[in-house]
Amino acid sequence: MIAIWKRELKSYFDDMLGYFIVAAFLMLIGLFFSFYNIEGSYAFFAYPICAIASFMSALIPLLTMRSFSEERRSKTDQLLLTAPISVWKITLGKYLAMVSVFAIPVLISCVYPVVIYLTGSYAYPLTDYTTILAFFLVGASYIAIGMFFSSLTESQIIAAILAFGFMFLLGYLRDLSDKVPKEEWKNAVILILFSVVFFVIFFKMTRNFYVSFAVFAVLCIGVAIAYHVNPDMFYGSVSQIMRSVSYGETLYLFANNIFDVTSIVLYLSVSVFFIFLTIQSIQKRRYS
Amino acid sequence: MIEVKNLVKRYGLIPAVDDISFTLQPGKIYGFLGPNGAGKSTTMNIMTGYIAATSGDVRINEYSIMEDPEEAKSFIGYLPEIPPVYPDMTVEEYLRFVAELKGVKRSERKGQVDRAIDRTRLNDYRRRLIRNLSKGYRQRVGLAQALLGHPQFIILDEPTVGLDPKQILEIRKLIREIAISGADVPKEERPIVLLSSHIMQEVSAVCDEILIIVHGRLIVMDTPENLIARYHVKDVYEIEARCTEERLIEVLAPFKEMAEFDFDSNDMPEGISKVTLTFPKNADVAELLFKTLAKDGIPVRQLKLVVPTLEDIFLQLVAKADEEFAAREEERMKNEKEKSGTDSFVVTSLPEEEAEIMEEDETEAEDEADEIPEAEDADASEETKEGGDET
């Protein structure tokens, strides 16, 4: 695992990509620091951090796009998968290497609260540092998502576009959630439509019509019964779901001086979930 | 010892490897021979744990590649068809990385890397970026990589493809060196080398035993000598003489009982006749033939005993296997037609195995919302059809 971590990290800095990612984040941090904190005289470094978070969906896919795609294209995955090392160690080694690259600008950004503390009249280092921590964890979960998309395809470009699209959607679901109708019955219908989509995906993956249909039926009946028993719980439920899926936005909680443990757990579980999916997608390919 | 048991790999319904079983003994070089697309690489990829088999098992020193992959893989050094090298690393960096990946102890790493570099004669290239190496040298780096960690089983997929003749000879010599290098260790720990090729001559030059696989089936496993002995069932003599064909028949009349005659003088110069005589094995009639012809004053240009080459045997076996495969395919198509035509549905071994893969997929599937290889789509419709028949 350490061998893979070392190799990956070195390869990021053997060409431009690693430097580019670090430089881009540092530039953004510097830029927003001068907007908010120097020109706007804001005492919170947490705000520039939150502003930068929306750029992650553009930068993180660049970092993750080649992780598995390139190995597959150049057939070097044969070396890794035939070495006496398990797939989860390979995946974790790669993941940690990417997180390490991302950690460099995050660590450097830790200097800014000190600057505010030393030169400003007010400073809130605790809020700033918890926000930086949350920012780092959100980034780590995005890296897991990007890595998963990279494991799906041989093409780096497709991996990057898929990851970007997915993260972009995650970020904007919160804004979109206001546009979704709130009425109970419409929400129920939308949920049924979701089950249809789920059914199609499930069927595609398992190739088993009966099981997929059973799952679909259970979902539909569940919605129907719940609607019959208590229609009130459907009020605005879809926009609620959309808002909770758009988890990156919860960074603002930290900036508002709330240490939200739920969000921390969520960030970590998204990382773990997508690392798991990556492992599964690699294993699946060995079987098909 | 490597034991391959009833290995099957299907892509959709098409078998790439079709029930292959064999056992490889320590201290020998084995050659995997077959035309392109016969399933050599697929078998090797399964043996090294790169892809999973549809059914069957591979045991390496009693460790199953399916159940204890890490232990099993630790005995293997594998050079795939395309050397798995990272172009952005130098030769030495790359080999260090592989040594670490294979869990070679820190203290031994440098020594092993140096030795692998020495053996593959890469000393002048150790600080070069792999990106800048030619195909032949990349192949050597790939081979050096396979040698790291003292693997007991070295599996080489077409190690000489794309090399120049001198490099081919060097690589062959190297492969033999590897096999001999274990002469001082106990027999059961000696290295096994398995290499694949579609060139008979290469396999017979290097290997102790030959495994011929065609259309995913192992059709022969034997030493080159035994193969020749087994397929050398008739003595064939070729005679070229200066006379007419009629005259030859007349003179050779005493052999008519023993041999089959076959005239073919078309490509011969004016006035020369050529005849092929097929005798039973070990007839030993060369001198007798010569005397007979000399007695009648017929000038003989050539008289030779034609022994079948391994190449001939190989081509003969492939042609036979091709026919069998075509027959099997026809049978399968016919069965399928019958199957879709009637309601009563005979369960062959096929759907069971399919169901097994399906189950494995199911557990993983919930999580993967994307990318279904096309082959599976074909399966999907197949699967529902079969399911429909059962109910």
Angle between helices A237-245 and A184-206 (to 10 degrees): 50
Looking at the predicted structure, is the pLDDT value of residue A8 above 90? Answer: yes
CA nearest to A53, candidates A1, A123, A125, A105:
A105
Strand spans (E) along chain B: 2-11, 14-24, 29-33, 55-60, 63-64, 76-79, 153-156, 192-197, 209-214, 217-222, 234-242, 260-263, 272-280, 300-306
Provide the 10 A C-beta neighbour count for residue A118: 8
By Cβ distance, the residue of B49, B97, B373 closest to A82 is B49
Biggest CA pair distance of chain B: 87
Smallest CA–CA distance from A89 into chain B, residue? B101
CA nearest to A212, candidates B373, B356, B375, B384:
B384
- Give how far A82 is from chain B: nearest CA, Å: 5
A3 in B contact zone (CB under 8 Å): yes
Mean of the pLDDT values across residues A172-200?
84
List, for chain B, all residue ranges whose pLDDT scores fall below the cut of 50: 343-391
- Give how far B74 is from chain A: nearest CA, Å: 5
By Cβ distance, the residue of A84, A203, A281 closest to B368 is A281
Cβ contact (<8 Å) for A286 and B89? no
CA nearest to A103, candidates A27, A18, A163, A228:
A18
- Give how far A195 is from chain B: nearest CA, Å: 13
Give the whole-angstrom CA distance, residue B88 versus residue A9. 12
Angle between helices A16-32 and A46-53 (to 10 degrees): 130
Burial of B256 (0-12, 13-18, 19+ CB in 10 A): exposed
How confident is the prediction for chain A on average, in pLDDT?
89
Per-residue model confidence (pLDDT) at position B341: 62
Cβ-based contacts under 8 A for chains A and B: 122
A14 in B contact zone (CB under 8 Å): yes
Mean of the pLDDT values across residues A255-260?
85
By Cβ distance, the residue of B76, B369, B376 closest to A207 is B376
A232 in B contact zone (CB under 8 Å): no
Give the whole-angstrom CA distance, residue A69 versus residue A54. 25
Residue ranges of A 144-203 with Cβ closer than 8 A to chain B: 152-153, 162, 201-203
Give the whole-angstrom CA distance, residue B63 versus residue B151. 14
Give the whole-angstrom CA distance, residue B391 versus residue B386. 9
Name the 3-class secondary structure at A55: coil
The DSSP output letter for B13 is T
Smallest CA–CA distance from B10 into chain A, residue? A288
pTM: 0.81
Beta carbons of B203 and B314 less than 8 angstroms apart? no
What ipTM, to 2 d.p.? 0.85
Beta carbons of B278 and B262 less than 8 angstroms apart? yes
Number of H helices, E strands in chain B: 13, 14
Instruction: Look at the block and give the residue holding tokens 């090298």.
Output: B85
Provide the 10 A C-beta neighbour count for residue B300: 14
Instruction: Look at the block and give the residue holding tokens 């087994």.
Output: B230
Q: Which residues of B touch A277 (CB under 8 A)?
A: 367-368
Which DSSP helix (H) or strand (E) runs through A68? Answer: none
Cβ contact (<8 Å) for A82 and B50? yes
Cβ contact (<8 Å) for A82 and B73? yes
Per-residue model confidence (pLDDT) at position B355: 44
Name the 3-class secondary structure at B207: coil
Per-residue model confidence (pLDDT) at position B385: 42
The DSSP output letter for B277 is E
User: Residues 6 or more apart from A105 whose CB is under 8 A from it?
Assistant: A21, A22, A25, A26, A29
Angle between helices B91-101 and A2-14 (to 10 degrees): 150
Q: Is pLDDT larger for residue A113 or for residue B338?
A: A113
The DSSP output letter for B38 is S
